[in-house]
Chain A
C-alpha cells in the first residue's frame, strides 16, 4: 500500500467533505439534477453583500402560495447555482420583474406549457460581469449566463416549491428550465439596446424576463433582403404548433441583422413586418382545431391593431408584442424565435433596472 502523505490526506478529506455536502444537497432535494455548490455561511454572506438591503428584504412573493423570496434565500440559491456575487444584482432584478402580476410567474411555471423564464440582460453590465452575447449564445460555457439562469430555476424550485410532478406540471418542459439567460449583443447592433428602448437612463442596464416556451432555430443562408430574412422568421412564429396570441422573442443573428440594418430598417419597421406576416388564416386554424372565436374577437375587436388582417389570426396583438434584438456569433444565418407561454392566462414580459451595489 502506498504511503499517503499529510498533504494528500488533507486534500482527500477536503474533497470528501465537499462530496458529502453535495450529496446532502441531493438528499434534501435542493438540486436541478446537477451537483450544486454547498451554500456555506461565508459564501451566502458574500452574495447577500452584493445588495445593500437587509438580508430579510422580500423581493418577490409567490402569488398562489404566498411564499416569500428574501434576499437571503435568493443568495443561498445563487451560491448553489455557482454565481459570483457580481451576478447577484441581475438575479434580484429578474425576480423584481417577475414579481409583477402581469408576468404571472405561478401560472407560467406550474403549467403544462413547460415554459422557462428567459432572461435577456442588456447594457454595460453585461460586459462588466463577463456575460456572453456572442458565439454559442444559448449554449454552455459562460459562467454568468449559465449560473444566473440556473439560480432562477433553483429559486423557483427551492423557495417557491415549483416541484416537477407536484406543482410544476410541464408536459415536456424545455431545456431552458435548466438555465435560460443571455446577454444582448451591443457590438455591431444597429438598433438602440433594449435598456435604452425601455427608457432607462444612460449607463443603466436592465433585465427582461419572458416566459419562454422553447427554442426554434430560423435558418436562412440564402436570403439577402430584410423581407426574405424576416419572412423566414415570421413563418417560424406562425407555424401551427406555435401560433397563439402570445408575445414573441426574436434574437437575430449578426449576419441577418447586418442585412436588415444595412437596408436602414428600424426595430419598429421589423416589428411591423413580423406582425403583419406572422399569421394563419381562420380556415387553416379551423382545420387544425386551434381556431377560437374569442381569440379572433380579441385580436379584431375594439382597439384592434391596424395591421391585424380580417380573416387571419396573427401572432400577438400588436407589433410591440415582438421583442427583437441581436445576439450570437459573427458567422451563420441562424436566428431564433422563442414562443411564449399562454397569453390567454396572462403572461406579459417584464423588465427591471439592474441596481448596482
Chain B
C-alpha cells in the first residue's frame, strides 16, 4: 500500500492489491500517506500457498478491478 501511494505521488497510476485480511493495515497506511479514500484491488487471502494456475485465476478475477482503478474500463 505504501508503495502504491508513493507511485501515485510521483504521478504514476497504480493499482495496489490487498488481500482481505490486510484491509485494516492497508487503509491505515493509505491514511497515513495522505490518501484516505485510496481505491485498491481486494483479493481473497491467502496467496502464498497457491500454485501457478491458481495464481493465474486470481489475476484474471482481479483484472476488472485493476482496469477500473486505472481508469481503463
Contact = CB atoms under 8 A, between A and B. Distances in A.
Q: Give chain B's interface secondary structure class.
A: helix
A57 interface: no
A167 to B, nearest CB: 5
A64 B28 contact: no
Nearest to B32: A65
B2 A166 contact: no
Contacts of B25: 110, 166-167, 169
A165 interface: yes
Interface in B1-60: 2, 21-22, 24-25, 28-29, 32-33, 49
B15 to A, nearest CB: 19
B25 to A, nearest CB: 5
Contacts of A110: 25
Contacts of B32: 64-65, 67, 161
A166 B22 contact: no
Nearest to A162: B25
Contacts of A67: 32
Contact of A64 (B2, B21, B24, B49): B2
A232 B22 CA distance: 38
B22 A65 contact: no
A289 to B, nearest CB: 8
A106 B33 CA distance: 14
A165 B49 CA distance: 22
Contacts of B22: 169
Contact of A165 (B2, B24, B29, B33): B24
Interface of B: 2, 21-22, 24-25, 28-29, 32-33, 49
Interface of A: 64-65, 67, 106, 110, 161, 165-167, 169, 289
22 contacts: A64-B2, A64-B29, A64-B32, A65-B2, A65-B29, A65-B32, A65-B33, A67-B32, A106-B2, A110-B25, A161-B32, A165-B24, A166-B24, A166-B25, A166-B28, A167-B25, A167-B28, A167-B29, A169-B21, A169-B22, A169-B25, A289-B49
Given A64-B2, A106-B2, A110-B25, 5 more contacts: A64-B32, A167-B25, A167-B29, A169-B21, A169-B22
